[in-house]
Amino acid sequence: MKKIILSLVVLAAISLTSCSNDEQITDSQSAAQEQQLTKKTAKSALALCDATSTSVTVNRWQAPSSTYTNWTPVSATIGSVSVQWEGIYGASLRPTTGNWYVGTVTLNQTCANYDSWSSSIVVKNDPANLGAAPTNKFNVLGYDGTISGSNYGLGYYSYDISTHIMTPSKAIVIWKSDETGLNSESVTDPALATEAYLVKVTSVTPGSSSSAISYTWTQVK
């Protein structure tokens, strides 16, 4: 009888130990998964607000500098979208990847919480914001307003002809729309963007036959 009782006690102890080990393993796995999720979330948040500073040089192939098409466009990449710098002093920015669009916001806009400020983005392709220049006037941002008789519509910088100083007065937003049937002339809502970047031009430095554009871009959505 004592042997039977002793055997039952041993089996119960083994069972309790097994259950305890299983719970510890489960708890460890849950903690590891939670830690991985936390790291992934932190990494995603960091990527959204991680600014990249860069520059491009655009060359003028013939005079005068004031002619838009005398500057050879230069391709660049901002996050996952291809763009080109073009036009006078190479300071106009145009997305070349389909379904990407441009607009402006205040120059002091930060990357935080895109959904809270996306409604304040001024859309270039809105008919009210289009000028008559350049020839392909859609989905491009450069000079803001009219200069030398040419109306460029909505832009992001001003230009002093006498001093040749270009001053960025707005930030650029580039966003992706997943709507169907779009082209470069479509008017899309930045509040519905699936991906977006904030671009701030820090300087445009004209030379005798070239120009350097320095800028910072940040993924905001």
| Structural domain spans, the chain | 1-48, 52-219
Q: Please tell me the predicted confidence (pLDDT) of residue 85.
A: 98
DSSP letter for each residue of 52-65: EEEEEEEEBSSS-T
Q: Please tell me the predicted confidence (pLDDT) of residue 55.
A: 98
Q: Please tell me the predicted confidence (pLDDT) of residue 47.
A: 72
Tens digit of each residue's pLDDT (9 = 90 or more) over 56-77: 999 999 999 989 999 999 999 9
Residue 195 phi, psi (nearest 5): -160, 145
Q: Please tell me the predicted confidence (pLDDT) of residue 156.
A: 98
d(CA 99, CA 138): 13
pLDDT-derived band at 164, boundaries 50, 70, 90 = confident
> What does each C-alpha distance from 195 to 16, 26, 125, 130, 146 come to in angstroms?
52, 37, 18, 24, 31
- The tokens describing 130, both together, are 């289009």
Q: Mean of the per-residue pLDDT values for the chain?
A: 85
pLDDT tops 90 at residue 14? no
**Alpha helices, DSSP H, located in the chain:** 2-48, 114-117
Tell me 3's DSSP state. H
Type of residue numbered 186? S
How confident is the model over 160-178, as a mean pLDDT? 92
How many helices (H) and strands (E) in the chain?
2, 13
> What does each C-alpha distance from 192 to 14, 139, 198 come to in angstroms?
59, 17, 16
What are the DSSP E strand ranges found in 47-194?
52-59, 74-78, 81-86, 92-95, 100-106, 122-123, 146-147, 150-151, 157-160, 165-168, 170-176
Share above pLDDT 70 across residues of the chain, in percent, rounded to a whole number: 79
- The tokens describing 102, both together, are 């441009």
